[in-house]
């Protein structure tokens, strides 16, 4: 059994980081001060966007992209599923039609459950139909064409794309633009974030996707986790600043350590 140096450093940082987050969750759960989360415009806009869809008599379209639940994009897919549950609840409240297009088959039962949970939370489980969630294909462009087809044919009033997206982003987003849909988007993938920035009306950038769950639920566990992750971020920024100042002053010890074991 072996543990190489880069991995041991990663393990150490992971254990310390996770320990700190758990401590913050515990503190917040046991009545500690709650962090104040700034307004997230994309989440604030959801009720208004759904209301607009009801007034127009058109559906809301949601998709979480090609990210699966068993790959490196799982955190994004889970964050998107959490937001989908919230959107489904609001759609049930407002009697708006919501349709979800799914690419990875493994995500289908999970997001179907999330939608059903949303309708149940709104007290209208009977209004949910499994036909509201549509598996298209695991092939990227076949999935994109299904999403584009739905948005174009049904003239979706809102197009919500939150999750891990690849090259299909612009295809689906432009269909939304041509259908006159209000677009709420979010991803962590840098290559798609720049495209989303020019086509989205509201955008969740990077970590905002993960904070959205806490922002929506406002429960102590999630808020405590956000507090803990913010502390870690500050610590990481501090390490970078110290490394930078050290390098300027001619001491590259921290910088060298980061370069050697940072991957």
Q: Does 32 bind other proteins (CB under 8 A)?
A: no
Q: Segment 80-99, which members bind other proteins (CB under 8 A)?
A: 81-82, 85
Q: Segment 37-66, which members bind other proteins (CB under 8 A)?
A: none
Terminal C-alpha separation, the chain: 21
Nearer to other proteins, 93 or 138 (CB): 138
Q: Which one of 46-54, 56-64, 224-232, 243-251 is the stretch in contact with other proteins (CB under 8 A)?
A: 224-232
Distance of CA 254 to the CA centre of its chain: 33
Q: Does 185 bind other proteins (CB under 8 A)?
A: no
With CA atoms as reference, report the closest residue to 77 among 198, 242, 210.
210
- For residue 69, what is the DSSP state? S
Alpha-carbon gap, residue 83 to 212, rounded angstroms: 7
Q: How far is the CB of 203 from other proteins (least distance, A)?
A: 12
Q: Look up residue 102 and give its two tokens.
A: 């799914």
With CA atoms as reference, report the closest residue to 38 among 198, 185, 220, 207.
207
Using CB under 8 A, which of 45, 69, 255, 258 touches other proteins? 69
Q: How far is the CB of 15 from other proteins (least distance, A)?
A: 10
Alpha-carbon gap, residue 116 to 133, rounded angstroms: 10
Task: Provide CB contacts within 8 A for 250, sequence distance 6+.
Answer: none
Q: How far is the CB of 24 from other proteins (least distance, A)?
A: 10
Q: Which one of 5-13, 31-39, 90-98, 248-256 is the stretch in contact with other proteins (CB under 8 A)?
A: 5-13
Using CB under 8 A, which of 60, 64, 160, 222 touches other proteins? 222
Using CB under 8 A, which of 35, 174, 246, 247 touches other proteins? 174
Q: Does 17 bind other proteins (CB under 8 A)?
A: yes
Alpha-carbon gap, residue 29 to 19, rounded angstroms: 15
Q: Does 255 bind other proteins (CB under 8 A)?
A: no
Q: How far is the CB of 22 from other proteins (least distance, A)?
A: 7
Q: What is the DSSP string of 122-191?
A: TT-GGG--GGGEEE--SSHHHHHHHHHHHHHHHT-SEEEEEEE--TTHHHHHHHHHHHT-EEEEEES-HH
Q: Segment 108-167, which members bind other proteins (CB under 8 A)?
A: 108-110, 113-114, 116-118, 120-121, 130-131, 133-136, 138-142, 144-145, 149, 153, 167
């Amino acid at each position: 059994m072996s543990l190489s140096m880069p991995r041991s450093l990663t393990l150490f940082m992971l254990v310390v980081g996770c320990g700190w987050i758990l401590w913050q969750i515990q503190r917040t759960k046991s009545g500690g001060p709650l962090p104040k989360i700034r307004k997230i415009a994309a989440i604030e806009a959801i009720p208004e966007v759904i209301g607009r869809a009801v007034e127009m008599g058109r559906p809301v379209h949601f998709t979480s992209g090609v990210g699966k639940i068993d790959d490196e994009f799982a955190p994004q897919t889970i964050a998107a599923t959490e937001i989908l549950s919230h959107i489904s609840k609001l759609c049930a409240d407002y009697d708006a039609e919501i349709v979800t297009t799914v690419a990875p088959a493994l995500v289908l039962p999970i997001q179907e459950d999330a939608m059903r949970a949303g309708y149940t939370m709104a007290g209208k489980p009977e209004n949910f139909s499994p036909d509201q969630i549509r598996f298209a294909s695991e092939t990227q462009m076949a999935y994109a064409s299904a999403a584009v087809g739905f948005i174009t044919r049904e003239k979706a009033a809102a197009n919500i794309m939150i999750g891990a997206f690849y090259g299909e982003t612009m295809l689906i987003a432009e269909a939304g633009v041509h259908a006159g849909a209000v677009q709420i988007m979010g991803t962590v993938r840098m290559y798609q974030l720049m495209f989303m920035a020019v086509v989205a009306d509201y955008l969740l950038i990077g970590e905002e996707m993960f904070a959205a769950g806490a922002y929506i639920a406002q429960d102590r566990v999630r808020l405590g986790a956000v507090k803990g992750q913010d502390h870690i971020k500050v610590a990481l920024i501090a390490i970078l600043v110290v490394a930078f100042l050290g390098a300027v002053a001619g001491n590259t010890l921290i910088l060298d350590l980061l370069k050697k074991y940072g991957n």
